[in-house]
Amino acid sequence: MNNVTLENVKNFAFLADRSYRDVKSTKDDEYKPSKHLPKDGIITNPATNSSFEVIAQI
């Protein structure tokens, strides 16, 4: 049996939300953190203070 913590649930929800954002370069003049993911870099879930690395996939 696997235990799922509230922190896991919050992180899964955070990553699911971010996965629907468009990937844009952070150097793009139109980049908005509320609409885009960076092409590469770190995103942090403010609810859990957990960080995740974004890696561009081709």
pLDDT for 50 beyond 90: yes
> Residue 47: what residue type?
A
Q: What Å distances lie between residue 35 and 8, 14, 20, 26, CA to CA?
A: 23, 14, 9, 12
Mean pLDDT of 25-31: 69
Q: How many CB atoms lie within 10 A of CB 11?
A: 16
With bands split at pLDDT 50, 70 and 90, how would you rate the model's confidence at 25? low
Domain boundaries of the chain, sorted by first residue: 6-54
DSSP for 13-58 reads: HHHHHHHTSEEE-TTSTT--TTTEEESSEEEEETTTTEEEEE----
